[in-house]
Amino acid sequence: MPTITCIDDLQRLARRRVPRMFYDYVDSGAWTESTYRANGDDFAAIGLRQRVMVDMSDRRLASEMLGERVSLPLALAPTGLTGMQHADGEILAARAAEAFGVPFTLSTMSICSIEDVAEHTSRPFWFQLYVMRDRDFIGRLIDRAKAAGCSALVLTADLQILGQRHKDIINGLTVPPRPTPRNLLDLATKWRWCLGMARTRRRTFGNLAGHVQDATDLGELAKWTAGQFDPSLSWDDVAWIKERWGGKLVIKGILEPEDAEQAVAAGADAIVVSNHGGRQLDGASSSIRALPAIVAAVGSRCEVHLDGGIRSGQDLLKALALGAKGAYIGRAFLYGLGALGQEGVEECLRIIHKELDTTLALCGLRDIHDVDTRILRPGSYPQPPRTAPRGERP
């Protein structure tokens, strides 16, 4: 077993153990992948201020997100096809999150169903919703999340139209993989993954299978899904979703202050500054660069979370310093899952926790709630605009 020191180590191990099409599904962005790269590069550009000869004892990282106590202000992001990184992946990731005391968010496009995850965990998890053309199905999906005890609904706003990811086209991504010569050759070198998949019954979209009318096999289900993302989704739809749900509502996919204002007006309890991991609009702002303006616009009226680019505890600390109430990791925990299953997700969380704790101390602080821009090197971090966006009142 190789020594694991950081998320990059988990990524290298996952690359060796996960079939190429599913590894590439995670490690890819839209078109030129410029926004995917910017998510990480813009975090790296932010410098920290080291302080010395201050009391660094009795440090506290625990906080709250959406009124829930968390061991550190971090959640596992909703990620599609998690159960294709490792057999029963969503269940294993949810268990790891529960053991560590952070929220887990289940994707609509998960392999394990809402009911599966609820059956195998004891802590309420969050559910992410894609709004599809079939509103009756979406209403029933919301009801299933309520029945399973989910404590928050995360409405994704930035996938009305699917961005193009070249690697998925090149790899011919399907669930399960097509038995092409290239795929069979790749699978022959991934025996751990194949053995795990042979032992599980969960190999399709668990939240959809058996719940979609006239979709009796995997091919029909995939065809139905491809035509269901709704380009007409608007802020008017949030009202009926919020009413049907009746609980905490998070709106994910916000990059502009104008949209943040709309989300708050629509009744969001929290918003997530996110560019879908750089997988939608190539050329959009990185999440961390967009964060300060959105915090300035709505941070006093709802929780602002960040998703995109966090690969370390230092990245998490920088997001908190710029006003995020909490943040999400997607690729980081998926690399852990693909590398080592549940233990890999727990190791990912341990790495981030240790990095956060050490960096907090070296910046001269003991309580995560005291973090602000004082810990950042002047001139290295993005700041909100001095004037309101064009067309908005100052």
User: Binding site: what residues are annotated?
Assistant: 25, 78-80, 107, 128, 130, 156, 165, 252, 274, 276, 279, 307-311, 330-331
Give the helix ranges, DSSP H, for the chain: 7-17, 20-26, 34-44, 89-100, 114-119, 135-147, 166-171, 181-188, 191-199, 218-226, 236-245, 257-265, 287-298, 313-321, 331-340, 342-362
Asked about 276 being catalytic, the answer comes back as yes
State how far the Cα of 49 lies from the Cα of 374, in Å rounded to an integer.
Answer: 8
Of 114, 115, 116, the closest CA to residue 88 belongs to 116
Distance of CA 39 to the CA centre of its chain: 13
State how far the Cα of 136 lies from the Cα of 213, in Å rounded to an integer.
Answer: 11
Q: What's the Cα-to-Cα distance from 248 to each of 128, 146, 152, 154, 244, rounded to whole Å?
A: 12, 11, 5, 9, 12
Amino acid identity for residue 227 in this structure: G
Catalytic residue among 120, 211, 276, 353: 276
- Binding-site residues for glyoxylate, in ranges, read 25, 165, 276, 279
Residue 163 burial (CB count, 10 A): 18
Peptide bond into 378 cis (omega under 30): no
Tokens of 67: 């009124």
Cβ(252)–Cβ(158) under 8 Å? yes
Cβ(231)–Cβ(260) under 8 Å? no
Contacts of residue 254, Cβ cutoff 8 Å, sequence gap at least 6: 157, 260, 263, 271, 272, 273, 274, 294
Contacts of residue 229, Cβ cutoff 8 Å, sequence gap at least 6: 130, 132, 133, 159, 160, 161, 162
- Binding-site residues for FMN, in ranges, read 78-80, 107, 128, 130, 156, 252, 274, 307-311, 330-331
Report the first-to-last Cα separation within the chain, whole angstroms. 57
State how far the Cα of 269 lies from the Cα of 85, in Å rounded to an integer.
Answer: 31
Q: Where in the sequence numbering do the catalytic residues fall? A: 276
